[in-house]
Amino acid sequence: MAPYDGPVTGPLPTDPLEGTVLDGRYLVEARIATGGMSTVYRGTDNRLDRPVALKVMDSRYAGDQQFLSRFQLEARAVARLKDPGLVAIYDQGPGDQRGGLPYLVMELVDGGTLRELLRERGPMPPHAAAAVLRPVLGGLAVAHRAGLVHRDVKPENVLISDEGEVKLADFGLVRAVAEAGITSTSVILGTAAYLSPEQVSSGNAGPRSDVYSVGILAYELLTGVTPFTGDNALTVAYQRMDNDVAAPSSVIDGVPMQFDELVLRATARDPADRYADAREMKADLDAIAAELNLPAFRVPAPRNSAQHTSAKLYHSRDGGSRVGEAEPVRNPTRQFTRDDWPEPATAPVLGGDESYSPAGQFAGIEISEFAYARARGRRMMLFWLAIVLIVTGAVAAAAWTVGSNLSALLSS
């Protein structure tokens, strides 16, 4: 799904596709989001009477035969993949030389994107990060086994349903666009923070490239920031050529050593030093979760998502009202200090209506409570340390006194 940058509050520009029927079957209802390559709409499959998501490619791709051929091949390959961690592809329309727009018909995930969740809540404790990474790696593992590479793993392409399902979207689109020779700018601008060094240097990508991107994603889940920053996308992209990713624990307290090792191995600059594929990385993540006894976690969908706004927009039209879309609101990633880190052991398993927490909370617990518990723990540690030092000093003093007077005691 294309990224979304803010709530819908202003007048909505007329969209010529809304209200139309694609190929006599798919009713286009309301726009969800617009990105560099496509626009996503919520729609209805009139033949099967089910809701769908319609990803309509930008008009510059219509009539480009090289792109259309690759687009069809990728869509067919991805449609064969079956995994709970992947957004299902139902159908595709190839467009034509007369200007018809190519489109994908996908499973509609009622919820939002991981990007929207990170904006609402900031960094995650390890057990929550693991709950996001496990289905992402599971979906990638199925694709890697089938010989497919995603090439664009990032929070915008990870969808979270209202039921807590985590699914990876947009397989194959980057390859179709790149091989048609139409882009470079839009793709790089959208993915600079997550590109592997070999993608930057040569444009080549394999399963280990996806592993690198998942490593960057894991780093961001744990810390709330990406490891490389710069004035522009190219600066960000090229930093990874000469710099290693730092351990997440160097940015924020509370990250277990095992997660540091997971991220560092996944983001090694030399592909040979990374996990071979998503299956190997997932196996390591599962072993870490078992070793640390991480609790189960139901990943909450973002409350103020583009998908939810689109649903409200569509339903509001029945009453004659029309909600509008604001100019993009770009929120910088929240900077957390070390004392803001929530203790993993105290975060509960979410379920039902507990999946939403207001600002200042994660997993329904006030951040201030985490801070209080941490401060109390530190005070108790200092108290017992003082007791140990006092007792140790008293024992040492007694031993010294007895030792210095031992000869006098023996002679008497």
As for how many domains the chain has, the answer is 1
Q: Is residue 141 domain-resident?
A: yes
267 near 245, Cβ under 8 Å?
yes
First to last CA, the chain: 92
152 part of the active site:
yes
Q: Is residue 261 domain-resident?
A: yes
> Which residues span the domain enclosing 130?
21-292
90 near 107, Cβ under 8 Å?
yes
The Cα 274–Cα 60 span in angstroms is 37
Query: Letter for the amino acid at 99?
Result: G
Among the listed residues 110, 152, 170, 277, the single catalytic one is 152
pLDDT digit string, tens, across residues 31-71: 998 876 789 999 999 999 999 999 998 887 777 777 788 78
Mean per-residue pLDDT, 156-163 = 95
Q: Is residue 384 domain-resident?
A: no
* Nearby residues of 280 by Cβ (< 8 Å), 6 or more positions away: none
Please tell me whether residue 168 adopts helix, strand or coil conformation. strand
pLDDT of residue 9: 39
From residue 234, give the alpha-carbon distance in Å to each of 36, 37, 138, 225, 341. 17, 19, 30, 18, 31
Please tell me whether residue 220 adopts helix, strand or coil conformation. helix
The Cα 224–Cα 252 span in angstroms is 9
From residue 250, give the alpha-carbon distance in Å to each of 34, 246, 337, 339. 36, 7, 11, 13
pLDDT of residue 379: 63
pLDDT digit string, tens, across residues 126-154: 999 999 999 999 999 999 999 999 988 99
User: pLDDT band at residue 201, thresholds of 50, 70 and 90?
Assistant: confident
Is the per-residue pLDDT at 95 higher than 80?
A: no
Q: Is residue 314 domain-resident?
A: no
Predicted model pTM: 0.73
Q: Is residue 84 domain-resident?
A: yes
pLDDT digit string, tens, across residues 206-216: 999 999 999 99
Q: Is residue 395 domain-resident?
A: no
Is the per-residue pLDDT at 377 higher than 70?
A: no
Q: Which residue has the tokens 């064969």?
A: 80
Please tell me whether residue 128 adopts helix, strand or coil conformation. helix
Q: Is residue 2 domain-resident?
A: no
For 285, the token pair is: 């993540």
Q: Which residue has the tokens 């592993």?
A: 211
Round the average pLDDT of the chain to a whole number and report it: 77
67 near 164, Cβ under 8 Å?
no
Q: E-strand spans in 127-283?
A: 158-161, 166-168
Task: Check which CATH number belongs to the domain holding 93 and give it.
Answer: 1.10.510.10
Q: Is residue 159 domain-resident?
A: yes
Angle, CA of 392, 394 and 398, to the nearest 5°: 120
pLDDT of residue 384: 63
